[in-house]
Structure 1
Amino acid sequence: MIIIIVIFQIKVQAQNRKNLISTIPELTKIIHFDKDNYGGDSQFWTMTRDSTGIYYFGNNDGAIAYDGQKWQDILLPNSSAVRSLLYASNGIVYAGGYNDFGIVEKNSFGTYEFRSILMDLKITTEKIENVWQIHEVNGIIIFRTFEGLITIENNSSSYIPSESRFIHSDVLEGTYYVQDENLGVMSFDPVLKSFNSIFNSKDIGNEVIISFLPSDKANSIEIITKKGNIYLGNLISGVLTKKHEVFSEDQNEFLSVAVKKGDTYILGTIGSKILTFSNGRNTSLKGSVYDQIQDNTVLNFYKDGDELWVLLNDGIDLIKYNASFSNLFSEGSVYDILIKDESIYIATNNGVYFSKIPKEGSVFNFVKTKIPQGQAWSLSSIGVSILVSHDLGIYEISDEDVTQIGNEKGFWKVIPISNKNNEYLACSYNGFYLLKKEGIRFNIITKIKGFQESTRDVLPSDEENTFWVCHGFKGVFKVKFSKDYRRVVAIDHFTDQNGFKSPFNINVHNWNSDIIFSTNTGFYTFNKENNKFLPYSKLNNIIGNSINTRKIITHQDTTWVVLNDEIGLFKQSDELPNIDKNTFRNLKGDLNRGFEKILPITNKKVLIGAKSGLYVYNLKESLDKPSFSTIITKVTKQESTKNITSQVVIAEQNELEISNSTEVLRFEFAAPEKTPKSNINFSYKLKDLDNDWSTWSRNSFKEYTHLPAGSYEFLVRSLDEKGVISNEASFSFIIQPLWYKTNLAKITCVSLMILAIWLGIRLVNNKRIEERKKSKALLERSKKVLNLEIERLKLKQDKNQLEEDVIFKSKELTNYTVQLINKKRAFVEIQNDLKELKNLVKNAESKKKIIEIFKKLHQHKVGEEYMKVYDVNFEKIHQDFFKKLKYIHPKITIRELRLCAFIKMNLTNKEIAPLLNISVRGVETARYRVRKKLQINQESSLNNFLTNL
């Protein structure tokens, strides 16, 4: 029964695939680059590519270099636009701007820059203006301006002026062709510096030429004009014949650039994007791949193998012909694919879509069917109808009409029943339903009793009326139906017994006519004799038993598998089959888990449904395995000493030495030979440090920190979207050891050790001599110490004596002061008594005698001479006391200084008054003035201040 069902399904699918093989177009993919990518001006004029795959673009800001990972701006000294670029056979990239042209090259820091060569060639900027095109003929570089041609050969230049204006130029088969506005088309010999007229301007109606193209006819070229006329020119006879007219008379359009792809002209226009012209007619833009161009104005083309770069007035587009894969639909997750009647249907999480399979040069145009919005799980082709298993039920699509079958909801798929014409099993969320086609209508006959589990993963058994049902969490059921399929008559349930190690994640498949079960621990097949599942060595030996395989599909000699979250394939005919998982690496993690859809069309073309949409893969190039290269674009180091990042030049250096102070070593790399945005992955390792290659990653850099001293070789490789691994790039370097680990340091250490031993011996010998000297010196030192101690005691005694003298003199000064006070008081009393006696005496002689006594007393009173003696003695005892007071207030008076001295001696106001010849009240006033002059606040004591001073 199973064989009949499988054969039936294979016949239907084979017929549908056959139709698709003959009609599915060549894969053409368009990649857009906008300002978010390149970051500069959006108007692009020219581009070129060097031998390593680095792209160079010219725009209004200057030039841009692109290695497939990073864009870098290149400015001209005069900040002009770059309108022409050429990668010459000598490995130099030439660039032309306004009144300047030169070379684009990498500097010592790994950065691209422009270097003008006008001064080197002694060329003045007169009449240069814009350099519109650069060509090479036999090693001679030719720069075209409107005013003339500039040729460069062996570091010498020549200037050839135009008759009127040089409008356009091209090189075909080693011959340089140029259009002069007045003279027409000429060939130019850069060696002889001579022109040869080929076609008159009148022959082309004085039209502006936008392209010279090769012709399939001998000794002929094709000329494309701005107005859209295509001419065939015979180079021998000079006859120019109009071959085609791209535009009709009522079309107001102009061409800007043209290339040929086979017999088809690809034409860039000023306002209508890209047109194609073949077989004498203009192909409509609508519905073609060229309709996806992001801007209407095309300024230039750059043809690079099977790729066409389109330089636009606003951005850059890349057209990849014969691409390895293309996204045909991206408006939902695709769960199933069906090809029928030259149309393709897809079941998505948002209903069902279909598209007519387009012809060459056109694109798929998916339109939503009338199936209700929501989750559609699978599609089944039955006769002229298509049955859709949907979350809301089963729907029939017939002649664009949509009909719901029954009212039941939640169906996974519909499968035929062997030996039952027009009867089918409808697999639902909770068991089976019997579906039957009666006349032209489908009807759900009944819910089949006896089994209520989800029936998403179902496969007919080789036993009659029996099916295998796998449940993701409950294991495997073997379900046997009654002959009329109205009920289930037997169920065998297998979990972690009978050979399985776990009931989880078990799926059933048909491979090479064998029913096999994939699990987390490998593949199994059922043995009926002992009712047990046994390991299936054929696939275990190829895929292994540690990866869960959720899907197995065979087509001819190829087996497709879904391993965890990625797709792989292998050839069954290979002696040692090897699973290729790299081809579909861009879909890793993008598959609908449990609903992966793979529809092989041929061994070299396959349709795949994923979360991000529907993909078609062309495997031809991936099987051919063309090689390409990975390059290391920059190496930078960051030293910890100054925390400054300095760039290391990548040159022809075998082993670059890097200082041990390097904290971070960063490698940047790219695969510029591959198309930008082509999902390049990188893997790397550092020899002598990493044992294995790193896992594939989109990161285009790797950093190492604090590498130990030693010799290293950094290796990097890349993996393209076709599964091809590139050639390895390498960079060798040496991390210098720390100074104490260098050979010089080791030699120095050994030398120092020898020197230390020699010095040790010398020191031991010298030590004996020194010991004797030390003993003698110690004795002499003891004597000196004794003498010093005696001297110290003597000085201490003198100090004590001095202190006693100070105390004694202080006492003497105090006694002197007291005597002065007493003397002053006695004189005052005597004077007062004499004044009273004078008033009492009446005799003149007596009064005269009293006056004489009064005069004698006055001559011997305590006067200034006594106070000066006091001042001198006070200063001797209290050194610099008066100087300090004068320093605090330079204008302090002598009387105030004496007042301070008396206060320091703790004399009372009453005792001070007679010494200063003032009253006690006057002493208080004098004290206030002194306090103010010395800036002593009211809270502080004047006595304490003067005592401490």
Structure 2
Amino acid sequence: MIKECFFDILFFNQPGKNKLFERYTLLILFIFPFLATAQETPQLINYPNTVYKAHNQNWEIAQSRDHIIYVANSDGLLEYDGAVWKLYQLPNRQIIRTVLCDTTANGDSRVYVGGFSEFGYWQKTGKGQLIYHSLSQGTNFKSLKTEEIWHITKTTDAIYFQSFARIYKYDGKKITELKSSGNFMFIRNVRNRLFFNMLTNGLYELKDDKFLSLPGTSSLANAVVSSILPFSNNRLLITTTKHGLFIYDFEKLTEWKIPIAEELKKNIINKALILSTDSSLALGTILKGLYILDKNGNLKYHFNKENGLQNNTVLALSEDSRKHIWLGMDQGIDLIKLSSPIISYQKNDNPLGSTYAAAIWKNKLYVGSNNGVFVKKWPSAESFRAIPGLEGQTWNLKVVDDQLLCGHNDATFRIEENGIKRISSVTGGWVFLPVETKKEKLLLQGSYTGLHAYRKDDNGNWVYAFEIKGIPPIPIKQIVMTKDGSLWLAHAYKGLFRTILNENMDSVKVWQEYKSPVDIPSEFAVEITPWKQNLLVRSGNGFFKPNDQNKLMPYMDLNRNDNDAFKIRSGIDGDWFKVYLSKIIYTNKSGSRSLDLSLLRNNETIIPLSNQYYFFGLDNGYALYDRTIAEKPITAAMTPIIRKVVNLRNLADMFETKSNTVLPKNVRSIRIMYALPVFGQNLQYKYRLKGLSEQWSEWTDQSYVEYTNLESKEYTFEVKSNLNEQITTYSFSVNPYWYETVWAKLLFVLIAAAALTGIIFYQEKRLISHRKKLLQEQEEKLRQQTLVNERRIIEIRNENLQSEIKNKSQQLSNVAINVVRKNEILQEIRDELQQVKQELGQQLPNIHYQKLLHSIERNVAGKDDWVLFEENFNEVHDEFFKRLKKACPEISPSELRLAACLRMNLSSKEMAPVLGISLRGIEIKRYRLRKKLQLANDFNLNEYMMEV
């Protein structure tokens, strides 16, 4: 019953206990309403259950020797290496209530855990796997069937597993059960002595396995002791859930009366921790989150749901190796970067909004934002209050000669202790720059409408003086004066200008505009900043410095070895900042460090508030960097660790993570998982696999790399982080298949040489045969070509002969036609002569008449014509007459002539003049010739002559 009662109070969200706690919580909240504060706190990082993918409740947190975080979660054991969360479950899936990391005498790391009816440890194998070893299963303690292990602690000689009624001591070999006369809460190891609170009996010490009562602690009989911690002068600090804090000197118990003692009693202290950095006290409560007190008990920080915690119920509290605090919550896990020099003001009901300006004046912090100007006492945790009349966008706050000036969207103001005063109607005052003339000190202001000047009145107050003549009314966002007296002006959107003013600083003497692409890469979004007694210009992601002739030259110190775009901001004492999209690199005389901050885009504000603090404008509040705090460096030991090496084809197939590992011959694709257990920082990695490539990869936030199609050879994997230059190496080799061994390769070489020799021999023989075949083919082709040519020649000759025959036939036809024509003419002349003789009678002497008639008769079908005809005919119709005479030896010469005319296909009418006979004579000759040739009457005589 006692155990269940305290369980109800401390762990309110167990089944069946919710209604009681809800009533209790409502009562507390009703009596003590929330008071909003404006406290700057260290960076806080939330890990909700959607990230680690396990139960909401986290009961205890521990860190191993290799800096891995382990969390006792209601679903099992959570492991976090800075990159990946992994859940390990007990055999029966019990809730894990407690966890302890330890290293054995032989150097093995163990993660001890405890839950209901179960305790044991996880131990990592050489392959990076955690294997669970149960210690409770080998015992015969009946009490274990009903007991739940709530805490594990360690001394130099044993591990102690504690429930509410038993303690199980494990000395590395055997387990001993220690029984007490009553129930107790958490056992604590303080200076290697074990103390605990026996319920209803006060404090006890476990010594030599005996329970010894501590004198003077009976007043704690009715209290629930939540923690026992080492305190100054060898004393103990005792925290109770609802009775406050006590100091015990081993004789008497004294209440530690600190300013917030009563508040802590009401909020139920559940966990407590002495911080190693400055002996501060961390107190985790059930109702109001986490309190950080200095060693004197004064409140330093208060973390709750209003300023970032996921939940106000702290179930676990732990400090890691980098002195950051881990909180196991009733809902999620939180990390507070307590040792970081960065503190921030960010809360759910933040009245500031996005911040653009800040200044410290009269021991007060003024912050300018898109919602106006806000002020609070500095330093303090009191709330911000808005300054009336300055609502809206504020661009600039600057203290000049102990006067606080405000560049506002509406006008320019002087902020006074009891109000504000408008000093000009100049709108959008982005920047103020004090300058000296021979007569007076002026204050130049870049605004929405050009460049303006202010001077002091008779009372020493800044008042508006004049607008600088010759400068166009452009929005001037930045002003930098160089040592030669030049003013460099950056347009808010597009443009870069250089000007020299006259002695009175009221008008322009020189005006120069820098154009793209001749002078600068781009005129858009140009930025200028003071840089090492000179000026730095950013244009188009490049940086430039003016030379002696004010020509902008590339500044190579910033234009190399950086693939990501960044901006530059100058600080004090030579400090400067590289501002990236999601981080800042801060550089001072002692070195560089990375800050996990994302500033407002296109209004990246970094302001030195004092010699101690830098102010960073955020989109929800602001952050401060304390220059006097040296953040714990990442030591050489903090290098990436090889977490696992697995077969990419079968992820359950794992290999040794130590170097010189030999992979099986069938594993040619692997995944190498690595991590750097540095938490709450933007980690990036570069890697390479020597043996495959000497080239480093690009920066990546991925915590694994995959390689496929690996050859059988030796490799060395190297990985480094962006936190330091230390390199982690992992060497491995791939076993060869039999055909990849040296002997196999030698055999392959011999076989290849023999095969090559055979191929050469075969190719030579084949080449000879091929050459011979080609030669034969060429000869055959030549012969065929010769035949073709000869055939062509014959065809040409035949064509020529045919042409000659055609010509001869034409000539023969011409001769025949000429003979026919001549005979026709001569016959006409003869007929005409005969007609004349008849008409003239004796008038034409007979002698002359006969002489003419004889001459005509002699020339009709003359012998000379026939001889010519016969010669041509024989040339055309080769040996026609011989063949005809052979066929018919008795054929007469006149019949031969008739046959020639028939072969020439002349008609009877055409043949009559040629042969010099009448048509009747032609028919008679045709008839006689047919008889001699013995041809039938119906046989065509012309066709016969054609065929002869």
Aligned counterpart for 1:232 among listed residues 247, 267, 273: 247
* 1:817 match: none
CA distance in 1, matches of 2:71, 2:747: 57
Aligned counterpart for 1:690 among listed residues 673, 689, 693: 693
* 1:221 match: 236
Contact 2:647 2:667 in 1 (8 A): no
Q: Structure 1 pair 662/144, CA: closer, same or farther in 2 (3 Å)?
A: same
Aligned counterpart for 2:647 among listed residues 619, 625, 637: 637
* 1:415 match: 433
Q: Structure 1 pair 741/68, CA: closer, same or farther in 2 (3 Å)?
A: same
How do 1:112-261 residues align onto structure 2 when only pairs under 5 Å count?
Answer: 112=130, 114-121=132-139, 123-124=141-142, 126=144, 129-181=147-199, 184-189=202-207, 192-199=208-215, 202-218=218-234, 220-235=235-250, 238-244=251-257, 248=262, 254-261=268-275
Shift of 1:140: 1.0
Q: Structure 1 pair 350/476, CA: closer, same or farther in 2 (3 Å)?
A: same
Q: Structure 1 pair 570/713, CA: closer, same or farther in 2 (3 Å)?
A: same
Aligned counterpart for 2:115 among listed residues 84, 90, 97: 97
CA distance in 2, matches of 1:288, 1:39: 23
Contact 1:27 1:324 in 2 (8 A): no
Q: Structure 1 pair 473/302, CA: closer, same or farther in 2 (3 Å)?
A: closer
Shift of 1:98: 0.7
Shift of 1:54: 1.5
The one-letter amino acid of 1:300's match is A
Contact 1:74 1:114 in 2 (8 A): no
Aligned counterpart for 1:45 among listed residues 59, 74, 77: 59
Shift of 1:244: 4.2
Find out whether 1:599 has 2:602 as its counterpart.
Answer: no
Q: Structure 1 pair 637/597, CA: closer, same or farther in 2 (3 Å)?
A: same
CA distance in 1, matches of 2:191, 2:544: 61
* 2:668 match: 662
Find out whether 1:702 has 2:705 as its counterpart.
Answer: yes
Q: Structure 1 pair 169/478, CA: closer, same or farther in 2 (3 Å)?
A: same
Contact 2:58 2:74 in 1 (8 A): yes
CA distance in 1, matches of 2:294, 2:718: 48
Shift of 1:95: 0.8
* 2:718 match: 715
1:161-218 deviation line (CA, Å, top 9, x unaligned): 11122333111111112333365433223xx433333237634344332222223224
1:122-143 deviation line (CA, Å, top 9, x unaligned): 5555465111211112231111
* 1:303 match: 319
How do 1:538-557 residues align onto structure 2 when only pairs under 5 Å count?
Answer: 551=568, 553=570, 555-557=572-574
* 1:271 match: 287
Q: Structure 1 pair 222/714, CA: closer, same or farther in 2 (3 Å)?
A: same
The one-letter amino acid of 1:632's match is I
The one-letter amino acid of 1:79's match is R
Q: Structure 1 pair 276/52, CA: closer, same or farther in 2 (3 Å)?
A: closer
Give the 3-state SS of the residue equivalent to 2:733 in structure 1. Answer: strand
How do 1:452-531 residues align onto structure 2 when only pairs under 5 Å count?
Answer: 452=472, 453-460=474-481, 467-470=487-490, 474-481=495-502, 483=504, 485=506, 487-493=507-513, 495=515, 509-514=529-534, 523-525=544-546, 527=548
The one-letter amino acid of 2:160's match is I
CA distance in 2, matches of 1:279, 1:755: 87
1:887-911 deviation line (CA, Å, top 9, x unaligned): xxxxxxxxxxxxxxxxxxxxxxxxx
CA distance in 1, matches of 2:98, 2:706: 37
CA distance in 1, matches of 2:356, 2:444: 20
Aligned counterpart for 2:625 among listed residues 612, 617, 630: 617
* % same residue: 22
Contact 1:44 1:315 in 2 (8 A): yes
Find out whether 1:338 has 2:359 as its counterpart.
Answer: yes
Find out whether 1:59 has 2:85 as its counterpart.
Answer: no
Q: Structure 1 pair 542/161, CA: closer, same or farther in 2 (3 Å)?
A: same
CA distance in 2, matches of 1:86, 1:443: 67
Contact 2:42 2:344 in 1 (8 A): no
Shift of 1:51: 0.6
Q: Structure 1 pair 597/603, CA: closer, same or farther in 2 (3 Å)?
A: same
Structure 1: gaps (5+ residues): 1-23, 764-949
* 1:583 match: 594
Give the 3-state SS of the residue equivalent to 1:746 in structure 2. Answer: helix
* 2:101 match: 87
Give the 3-state SS of the residue equivalent to 1:615 in structure 2. Answer: strand
Shift of 1:82: 1.4
Q: After the TM superposition, which of the residue ranges 289-298 and 171-180 deviates more from structure 2?
A: 289-298
Give me the CA root mean square deviation: 4.4
Shift of 1:230: 3.4
Shift of 1:599: 2.9
Aligned counterpart for 1:328 among listed residues 319, 327, 345: 345
Contact 2:40 2:345 in 1 (8 A): no
TM-score, normalized by length of structure 2? 0.64
Contact 2:49 2:55 in 1 (8 A): yes
CA distance in 2, matches of 1:263, 1:563: 36
* 2:898 match: none
Contact 1:102 1:117 in 2 (8 A): yes
Shift of 1:102: 1.0
Give the 3-state SS of the residue equivalent to 1:222 in structure 2. Answer: strand
Give the 3-state SS of the residue equivalent to 2:594 in structure 1. Answer: coil
TM-score, normalized by length of structure 1? 0.64
Find out whether 1:427 has 2:446 as its counterpart.
Answer: yes
Shift of 1:646: 3.8
CA distance in 2, matches of 1:568, 1:757: 63
Q: Structure 1 pair 367/745, CA: closer, same or farther in 2 (3 Å)?
A: farther
Q: How many pairs were matched up?
A: 703
Shift of 1:99: 0.9
The one-letter amino acid of 2:247's match is L
Q: Report which of the two structures shows the higher radius of gyration computed on alpha carbons.
A: 2
1:147-171 deviation line (CA, Å, top 9, x unaligned): 3221112421211211122333111
Shift of 1:27: 5.9
Shift of 1:243: 4.5
Contact 1:176 1:187 in 2 (8 A): yes
CA distance in 1, matches of 2:319, 2:553: 54
Contact 1:257 1:267 in 2 (8 A): yes
Contact 1:555 1:600 in 2 (8 A): yes
Structure 2: gaps (5+ residues): 1-37, 763-948
Give the 3-state SS of the residue equivalent to 2:233 in structure 1. Answer: coil
1:445-502 deviation line (CA, Å, top 9, x unaligned): 55443221443333346567x63435575553324247372x4354345558998798
Q: Structure 1 pair 497/55, CA: closer, same or farther in 2 (3 Å)?
A: closer
Contact 1:423 1:434 in 2 (8 A): yes
Q: Structure 1 pair 351/144, CA: closer, same or farther in 2 (3 Å)?
A: same
